[in-house]
Structure 1
Amino acid sequence: MWKWEADGQAKAVVAVLHGAYENHRWYAWLIEKLRMEGFHVVMGDLPNHGTNLQFSRVHDEEFKEYNKYTRQLIENAFSYELPVFIIGHGLGATLALHMMQKKKYECAGIILSSPWLQLKLQPGKLSNALISISALTANMKMTHEIDFGKLTRSVEGKEEMKDDFPFLTVVSVKWYRELQMMMKNIIVIPKGDFPNRPMLVMTGERDAITDSRMARYWLYQQELTEIQYKEWPKSYHNLFHEVEREEIFIYMKDFMNNVLRSVGYIIK
């Protein structure tokens, strides 16, 4: 993982978890915006993504590897001894929720972009049936039919997604089964069991990949004292690559600054 330090005195640290099939290079714009606003940024690539991409040409890594990476990323952010915000997008948002429920980190706030809690677009036509079939099918491969056109309507955003790493959306049944189990376990978290931290959830009205209704339902079921939910009209799945991303960033920045003010920081 890597660290990008704030331009000037830092007021907080942001740990960023990218989504499935992505890599940290996609987030260069977001990282720079955060730096310019006084935030250190800690980010890397999920196992078998980006610089960690293996030669299998299929995502069949175990979710315990994701969990280990998520824990290390968050704890790395705390090493600065500054308030820590966690930003998770897509699968990264799901991993952030899982780790927060498990470890209950004393972070300043949590920001979720298009969290994967229930998918509209599922890999493979037989995916629902296959997840309950025996281990004989575990290595069977399915294609998650996600392309740049489903992620954003911004030409600039699509260009930022084109890099040296292949956009690999082939997954094994085992991988998808683990994903489904994690999403289900998060949805059924008992009331009051999730740590009470300020939370902002943002979704896109035209997201064709994940069901924003489940994200909204989950958020309102939690006993949190400070929550914000924002659905961006016309936006697709990848909000930080969308046409409205400047406005989206300002909305998120205001949330973080308000949280910092509430704990005694002077924000200009």
Structure 2
Amino acid sequence: MWKWEADGHAKAVIAILHGAYENHRWYAWLIEKLRMEGFHVVMGDLPNHGAKAKLSRVHDEDFKEYNKYTRNLIENAFSYDLPVFLIGHGLGATLVLHTVHKRKYECAGIVLTSPWLHLKLLPGKMSNALTSLSALTANVKMTHDITFEKLTRNVEGRNEMKDEFPFKSVVSVKWYRELQYMMRNLVIMTKAEFPNMPMLVMTGEKDGITETRQTRNWLHQQEFTEFQFKEWAKCYHNLFHEVEREEIFVYIRDFINNALRRIGYIIE
């Protein structure tokens, strides 16, 4: 877990959860932009991601580890005694939803980009069949065919993803089964179950990994008094690596500043 202090007086704290197979270094650009705008940032690597990804060849970690890590990250953000915002991308967005739903954290707002609520690109040709079989299949390995080219159309963004940590998208059936269970529970969540707080959800029009229509439907089925949905034209899955990321960042910054104004903060 790492913390980056704001450049000057901090307005709020932002905890970031990255997506599956990624690591915190992919978010260096976003972290610096937030810090320069007056936000403390808290972030780390999901279990078996980042440096620890070098130790194994497959993602088979228990989702309880993910949930514990997410709680830890959020509680670290609250230690500053400032308003807390959560930014979750992909699987990180799904973990944000699951944890806030279970723990009822009182955040100042949530930003979700390309949340995994329903996957368009599935791991392995037989994934649906395998996950319905007995526990004997739990350790069967499948490749989730996500490549840098599917994450962004921006060459500069792809280069930022290439670092010393391995990008491995091989998962076990057990891992995928747990992912499906979490996504399904969020999708069938009844109205008013999720804490009412400002919510910004953004997707890419050309996202080939998630079903963005399902994401939009989920948002409109909730009973939030304040929410925004934005689909970015031509963009792929990883919005923070796309050509339009400066505009995307301004959209997020304005959402956060507006949320702060509504709770009594003076934003210059």
Whether TM-score is above 0.5 comes out as yes
Structure 1 residue identity aligned to 2:95: L
Contact preservation (8 Å) 1:94, 1:116: yes
Aligned to 1:116: 116
Structure 2 residue identity aligned to 1:239: L
Give the TM-score taking structure 1 as reference length. Answer: 0.99
Aligned to 1:181: 181
What is the CA distance between 1:83 and its match in structure 2?
A: 0.2
Distance 1:171 1:46 in 2: 15
Question: Could you give the per-residue CA deviations for residues 175-197 of structure 1, whole angstroms, max 9, x where no partner exists?
Answer: 00000000000011111110001
Q: Does 1:80 align with 2:80?
A: yes
Distance 1:22 1:175 in 2: 16
Contact preservation (8 Å) 1:46, 1:52: no
Alignment gaps of 5+ in structure 1: none
Distance 2:46 2:52 in 1: 7
Distance 2:74 2:42 in 1: 8
Question: Could you give the per-residue CA deviations for residues 161-215 of structure 1, whole angstroms, max 9, x where no partner exists?
Answer: 0000010000000000000000000011111110001000000000000011111
Distance 2:215 2:64 in 1: 23
Aligned to 1:59: 59
Q: State the secondary structure of the residue aligned to 1:156.
A: helix
Distance 1:75 1:183 in 2: 23
Structure 2 residue identity aligned to 1:250: V
Contact preservation (8 Å) 2:117, 2:183: yes
Aligned to 2:245: 245
Question: Could you give the per-residue CA deviations for residues 13-52 of structure 1, whole angstroms, max 9, x where no partner exists?
Answer: 0000000000000000000000000000000000000023
Contact preservation (8 Å) 2:137, 2:173: yes
Structure 2 residue identity aligned to 1:267: I
What is the percentage of aligned positions where both structures have the same residue?
A: 76
Aligned to 1:169: 169
Structure 1 residue identity aligned to 2:98: H
Aligned to 2:196: 196
Q: CA RMSD in A?
A: 0.6
Contact preservation (8 Å) 2:54, 2:165: no
* Paired positions, count: 268
Aligned to 2:233: 233
What is the CA distance between 1:61 and its match in structure 2?
A: 0.2
Contact preservation (8 Å) 1:10, 1:40: yes
Distance 1:161 1:255 in 2: 26
Contact preservation (8 Å) 1:117, 1:184: yes
What is the CA distance between 1:54 and its match in structure 2?
A: 5.2
Contact preservation (8 Å) 1:58, 1:169: yes
Aligned to 1:17: 17
Distance 1:171 1:53 in 2: 12
Distance 2:148 2:158 in 1: 6
Contact preservation (8 Å) 1:130, 1:137: yes
